[in-house]
Amino acid sequence: MTVTRRRVLQGMGAGLALAGSRSWASTELNLGSKRLQTLSDGHLSLPGEFIFGPMDKPDLIPVLADFGMTSSDQLTPDINVTLMQDGDKIVLFDVGSGPDFQSGAGQLVDALDAVGVAPEDVTHVLFTHCHPDHLWGVLDDFDDPLFSEAQHLMGQGEWDYWFDPETVHTIASNRTSQAVGARRRMEIIKEQITLFGDGEEVLPGVAARASFGHSPGHMSFEVRDGNNSVMVLGDAVNNHHISFARPGWETGADQDRETAAKTRMALLDQISHEKMKLIGYHLPEGGIGFAENSGEGYRFVPASG
């Protein structure tokens, strides 16, 4: 298994022009016949309370200081969409935000274009969960499926939760728009969906791993070639600071905070013990790296460093 840091993709042409140039680092990992790259969908802009709200501030501040974070008011996490190419299969793990979520996001189509992949080339889309920055990019500007030739795959529990018309009435009020937006998109792609359960091999060498808590049916994916593997985490570990340094702390980003913390601790324990590579959707420097045990918690070590 080899990891390389690719050049920074930057430009004003080839679909990269907006109000100025865009740039991102495309990091790749080769795992047997499988080539995995992370492509940027841009970044989110979040109030710090979205993550840090449930945490005790006197305990939080010194941990953030260890990461050079002098303020907990605003966060701008990266959005890393994983592209896997394996023979005739071109696979996306999640699809980014699309144009209707946040202005700093929705850049996936340009990123795909920069590496020579058109939406109609994609053969499979695997969803970790249905939050906006993972699902909403599934439609084009005309509300048609963007990845028109792809089979779409999602965990049964995640589909059942967001497709249930009662979810909009039972979800926390600050997430109502997420429920409405998710179901609208799921209605449009439902003929393309294949559902799966925990532990199933959804594609050759790609197994689903239940990682519930961040969302009710969140799935991560273990991509394996012989004794080598990488865990595509989605949002099961959703930042490089608190999620690693204090994985047992409950975070406001998770729908079921207690379950998410248990999931996070179990995943990081496995990944660090087995010296697995990981890919995080909101981790820096392309999101590919590994978890190093630091005693009280873990450290994210980017593979591109």
CATH code of 163's domain? 3.60.15.10
pLDDT average, residue stretch 165-187? 97
pLDDT at residue 72, as a whole number:
83
Q: Which of 25-29, 68-72, 85-89, 179-183 has the lowest mean pLDDT?
A: 25-29
pLDDT at residue 236, as a whole number:
98
pLDDT average, residue stretch 197-225? 98
pLDDT for 33-79, tens place per residue?
999 999 999 999 999 999 999 999 999 999 999 999 988 899 999 99
pLDDT at residue 70, as a whole number:
84
| pLDDT tops 60 at residue 251 | yes
pLDDT at residue 71, as a whole number:
80
pLDDT average, residue stretch 104-112? 95
pLDDT at residue 6, as a whole number:
43
pLDDT at residue 10, as a whole number:
42
pLDDT for 220-231, tens place per residue?
999 999 999 999
Collapsing DSSP to helix, strand or coil, 293 comes out as strand
Q: What separation in angstroms does the CA of 46 have from each of 50, 102, 132, 253? A: 7, 10, 13, 10
Express as a percent the part of the chain with pLDDT over 70.
91
Residue 138: how many CA atoms within 13 Å on its side-chain side?
31
Give 24's pLDDT tier (boundaries 50, 70, 90).
very low
Helix (H) or strand (E) holding 84: strand 78-86
pLDDT at residue 223, as a whole number:
98
Q: How far apart are CA 98 and CA 141, in angstroms?
A: 9
pLDDT for 77-104, tens place per residue?
999 999 999 999 999 999 999 998 999 9
Residue 125 makes CB contacts below 8 A (sequence gap 6+) with 91, 92, 94, 95, 138, 147, 150, 151, 152, 153
Q: What separation in angstroms does the CA of 271 have from each of 28, 179, 234, 262, 301? A: 19, 31, 14, 14, 12
What one-character-per-residue DSSP string does 94-105 give? ----GGGS-TTB
Largest separation between any pair of C-alpha atoms in the chain = 52
pLDDT at residue 2, as a whole number:
54
3-state helix, strand, coil split of the chain in percent (to 5) is 30, 35, 40
Give 16's pLDDT tier (boundaries 50, 70, 90).
very low
Give the residue numbers spanning the domain of 23: 2-302
Q: What is this structure's pTM?
A: 0.92
pLDDT at residue 28, as a whole number:
85
State which of 10-19, 21-30, 112-121 shows the largest mean pLDDT: 112-121
Average pLDDT in the chain: 91
| pLDDT tops 50 at residue 23 | no
Provide the number of structural domains found in the chain. Answer: 1
| pLDDT tops 70 at residue 7 | no
Residue 181 token pair = 């937006």
